[in-house]
Amino acid sequence: MATMTLIQAINKALDEEMARDDRVVVFGEDVGKRGGVFLATEGLQQKYGPERVIDTPLSEAAIIGAAVGMAAHGMRPVAEIQFADYVFPGFDQLVSQAAKLRYRSGGQFTAPMVVRMPTGGGVKGGHHHSQSPEAHFAHTGGLKVVVVSTPYDTKGLLKSAVRDDDPVVFMEPKRLYRAIKEEVPEDDYLIPIGKAAIRREGRDITLISYGGSMVETLKAAEEMATAGIQAEVIDLRSVLPWDKDTVLNSVARTGRVLMISEAPRMASVASEVTATISEELFDQLLAPPVRVSGFDTPYPYAQDKLYMPTVTRILNAAKRVLDY
């Protein structure tokens, strides 16, 4: 088994899917010769040629729109948007078109496509290279939205996304690209979209997170353990659909819940999850669900460390939930 970073797992998943199915094509800005600005597609053009690993003109609307067309026409496009912040020129194609093609064609056409994008902060990117726009997509029935946090999951989830019959937005926290290494099997394994992972078992409180914030969430859980508090940690892995069963089962046992995400708070995934918990488990809760999130502001360059949920912020919020 090879040890891999998250970015290597992406590369491996794409490589394997391209080898398995020649309908799979990879395209986007700078993905070919350069191998992408983060090198997610490094070496793929050399291996599969410029017809299957395509440097496109600089247009997100054309990239996503063309992906919809190619997908409807029997291909399996995997488009890269250079940064999640730059998906917006292609937002219409994704939200109004890809998401609705099946519905508006009476099921005649579908858009089995993947739109990959580096997301989130923590790399000193400022307001145009750090946003976490998953809630925009989670608000759109017809899309699936995955946010990865480990190399192992990344390979299995990306392969599932490529094989999915609906459009999948695949979000990759860029600060994790090279931050974690773990063993990733060589074989062809899939991780189902919509299934959360329990990263740590515990009975005192449930910590729910996904994507980049998983790092701080797990660290906080470790610190809590040294103080004798056993936190259960759930990684949602996909935010549309999200794994209600796993979440509700856990919170029904612990009675206390904290949801952590670096995205802005208003109308966020964290809001949806905590609202669902309140609705479904109101009488079993020992404390109100609490969110630790980014702020409802542009992502600040200089105050990067303050904006993102830090271990201290998570611990402080957890204390409030535990002391309630």
Total of chain residues touching another protein, rule CB under 8 A: 39
Q: Which residue, 61 or 190, is less far from another protein as judged by CB?
A: 61
Residues between 12 and 71 that touch another protein (CB under 8 A)? 29-30, 32-35, 37, 55, 57-62
Binding flag, residue 300, another protein (CB under 8 A):
yes
Task: Give the side-chain half-sphere CA count within 13 A for 5.
Answer: 13
Q: Which residue, 80 or 204, is less far from ligand TPP as judged by CB?
A: 80
Q: Which residue, 59 or 284, is less far from ligand TPP as judged by CB?
A: 59
129 among known catalytic residues: yes
Distance CA 206, CA 20 (A): 39
Element at 147 (helix H, strand E): strand 144-147
DSSP conformation letters of 224-242: HHHTT--EEEEE-SEEES-
Distance CA 196, CA 301 (A): 31
What is the phi/psi pair of residue 96, to 5°?
A: -90, -20
Distance CA 218, CA 70 (A): 40
- Residue 168 CB, nearest approach to ligand TPP (Å): 21
- Residue 290 CB, nearest approach to another protein (Å): 9
Task: Decide if 295 contacts 265 (C-beta within 8 A).
Answer: yes
Q: Which two tokens stand for residue 152?
A: 């192992």
Judged by CB under 8 A, the residue of 78, 214, 292, 318 near another protein is: 292
Binding flag, residue 262, another protein (CB under 8 A):
no
Instruction: Determine which one of 127, 129, 136, 139 is catalytic.
Output: 129
Task: Decide if 209 contacts 147 (C-beta within 8 A).
Answer: no
Contacts with ligand TPP by CB under 6 A lie at 29, 58, 60, 82, 86, 89
Binding flag, residue 248, another protein (CB under 8 A):
no
What is the phi/psi pair of residue 256, to 5°?
A: -135, 140
Residues of the shown chain interacting with another protein in the complex, contacts defined by CB under 8 A = 29-30, 32-35, 37, 55, 57-62, 85-86, 88-89, 124, 126, 128-129, 265-266, 292, 295-298, 300-303, 306-307, 313, 316-317, 320
Q: Catalytic residue positions?
A: 129
